[in-house]
Amino acid sequence: MKPAIKVENLSKQYRLGTVGTGSFAHDMNRWWHTARGKEDPYLKIGEANDRSKKGDSDYVWALQDINFDVQQGDVLGIIGKNGAGKSTLLKLLSRVTAPTTGSIKARGRIASLLEVGTGFHPELTGRENVFLNGAIMGMTKQEISLKFDEIVDFAGCERYIDTPVKRYSSGMYVRLAFAVAAHLEPEILIVDEVLAVGDAEFQKKAIGKMKSVSTEGGRTVLFVSHNMASVKNLCTSGILLQNGTVTKTGNIDSVIDTYSKVNVSKFDAEYVCKNLKLESQPIQVTSAHITSIGLKNNNIFAGDPFKIHVKFKSRGIVKNCRLFIGIYNQNDQKLLHLGNIYGGIDTFTSNKEGEIICSIPRCNLKEGTYIINLSFHVDGTSVDRVKDALTLNVENSDFYGVGKLPDNKENLFFIDQNWQIL
């Protein structure tokens, strides 16, 4: 069976600071080379799409040599850090912009939701925009009318359906835009990060709809999100973009695992503050590390005790201080919320510098890598937050002391338990 989408040698080049293809001289140079049957001279220059480094060229490859297939009915997750090229790829697939080189072959109608209000005219009402979007997708007025009530019910904006959409909140805007895109039966549905605008209830409903569109309708879905839990729940396969190139394709679990390892690899076993700002912050973390029995490079066994040490400095005497510690999994889900307020110390007073130690008597986390965030509060207000301060690597072990390694594939935590059979 032919794929729903086939991408071959796809590249997109931009000239920094320029709208369009560049200067008139550059356009003439391109035309002159093309007229003589020669290659575009500007394809030979340019640098990789690495936003963290200063380059020497005005040209940058937002995407370079992208190749992948998407089968009909697949739900493909496209993941990567900010600036990796995800949105550029979706714009090319949606035909919002043209590729510099390469080709995209798509079988069927494409509906895309790339940003809040994609395809909506702000002066038209919600009702008029539903019919306008359907007409753009090639549907007849009768076909749209049959789906209209279902669209409005899903979006939950019946009261405002005859109000110009420029007066909608961003949440209402995206609810209606998604409802139109999902219900007007495109063969290919492309959704960018816009669902993050909606509330938790709508996000859950939208993911459920995308699942049914794929499994029951046999339609193809391309989904971009930084929420790895949503990607894992919805997608069957994935591609990982890094600096404008594909670094991993395949099963969504393996792609997410690779993405997580790439992100985690930049964290150190010990956090050391490199920019003290006591002139603007009353208290600040200066360093942090983890200790445990036989700990090496922040690796511990499930069930082991461990301690999180946090050193700090303050601007003189600061009262009503609290430290909170958040432990997150690789999908950026918060699993544990720790704080001195929960350990018998409501608040403390800092006198220029000190150290706080949070002792965990028994690690009940399953096997995996976890991220630790730190946050100082003064008088109930956050004044210093250190994101991704430390990593904790937990190995599976005989947590329950019964001579067996527990099967923790589906569990988030271990928990001490007592049983009775009467």
Same domain membership, residue 206 and residue 80 = yes
Please report the pLDDT score of residue 359 as a whole number: 94
Q: Is 184 exposed, middle or buried (0-12, 13-18, 19+ CB in 10 A)?
A: buried
Q: Are 287 and 228 contained in the same domain?
A: no
Residue 153 is given by DSSP the state H
Task: Verify that 129 and 255 share a domain, yes or no.
Answer: yes
pLDDT of residue 214: 86
- Tens of pLDDT, residue by residue over 6-37, are 999 999 888 765 555 555 666 676 667 667 77
pLDDT at 16: 63
Query: pLDDT for 232-284, tens place per residue?
Result: 878 889 999 988 899 999 998 888 878 876 665 555 578 999 888 888 889 99
More confident residue, 317 or 110: 317
CB 331 within 8 A of CB 386: no
The whole-number pLDDT of residue 299 equals 81
Query: Mean pLDDT, the chain, as a whole number?
Result: 83
pLDDT at 203: 78
Residue-wise pLDDT tens digits, 62-106: 898 999 999 988 999 999 888 888 888 998 998 888 888 889 999
Is residue 1 pLDDT above 80, yes or no? no
In a domain, 408, yes or no: no
Least trusted range by pLDDT, from 49-63, 95-109, 128-142, 349-363: 49-63
Which pLDDT value is given to residue 27?
66
Q: What is the pLDDT of residue 30?
A: 63
Q: pLDDT tens across 180-224, in order?
A: 888 877 888 888 876 766 677 777 788 888 888 888 878 899 998
DSSP letter at 366 equals P
With vertex at residue 380, the alpha carbon angle to CA 375 and CA 386, rounded to the nearest 5 degrees, is: 10
pLDDT of 347 strictly over 90 = yes
The count of domains in the chain is: 2
Residue identified by tokens 């930084």 is: 226
Q: Which pLDDT does position 196 carry in this prediction? A: 65
Residues 292, 203 within the same domain:
no
What pLDDT score was predicted for residue 197?
Answer: 65
Q: Say how far apart CA 397 and CA 304 lie, in whole Å.
A: 9
pLDDT above 50: residue 47: no
Same domain, 73 and 198: yes
Is it the case that residue 110 has pLDDT exceeding 90?
Answer: no
In a domain, 25, yes or no: no
Final residue in a domain of this structure, among 209, 244, 263: 263
Residue 44, pLDDT above cutoff 60? no
* 189 found inside a domain: yes
* Nearest alpha carbon to residue 90 among 16, 166, 161, 192: 192
User: Among 245, 263, 281, which residue terminates a domain?
Assistant: 263
Mean local confidence (pLDDT), 329-353: 90
**Within this chain, do residues 165 and 248 fall inside the same structural domain, yes or no?**
yes
Whether the predicted pLDDT of 354 surpasses 80: yes
Q: Is residue 32 part of a domain?
A: no
Higher-confidence residue: 399 or 127?
A: 127
21-25, 133-137, 226-230, 402-406: least confidently modelled range: 21-25
Q: Does residue 22 or residue 122 have the better pLDDT?
A: 122
For residue 317, is pLDDT > 90? yes
For 52-63, what is the mean pLDDT? 66
Average pLDDT over residues 166-180: 86
State residue 31's pLDDT score.
Answer: 67
The whole domain housing 249 covers 69-263
Domain match, 220 and 281 both: no
List of residues 6+ apart from 234 with CB closer than 8 A: 75, 77, 207, 210, 211, 221, 223
pLDDT attached to residue 24: 60
Query: Based on the domain organization, do 306 and 374 belong to the same domain?
Result: yes
Confidence class for position 46, pLDDT limits 50, 70, 90 = very low
Q: Which of 242, 263, 284 is the last residue of a domain?
A: 263
Q: Are residues 83 and 220 in the same domain?
A: yes
Domain-embedded: residue 51: no
Q: What is the pLDDT of residue 174?
A: 83
**In this structure, is residue 419 part of a structural domain?**
no
Residue 43, domain member (yes or no): no
Tell me: do 230 and 275 sit in the same domain.
Answer: no
Residue 339's pLDDT is 95
* Confidence (pLDDT) at 49: 47
Percent of the chain with pLDDT over 90: 32
Helix axes 126-136, 170-183, angle to 10 degrees: 40
CATH number at residue 140: 3.40.50.300
**Domain for residue 29, yes or no?**
no
Q: Is the pTM of this model over 0.85?
A: no
Do both 119 and 253 map to the same domain? Answer: yes
CATH code of residue 369: 2.70.50.60
DSSP 396-411: ---TTSSSS----SS-
Q: What is the mean pLDDT of residues 135-155?
A: 87
Note the pLDDT tens digit of each residue in 380-416. Answer: 999 999 998 999 988 877 788 777 677 666 567 888 8
Average pLDDT over residues 133-162: 87
Domain co-membership, 91 together with 225: yes
Q: How far apart are CA 157 and CA 163, in angstroms?
A: 10
Does residue 126 carry a pLDDT above 50? yes
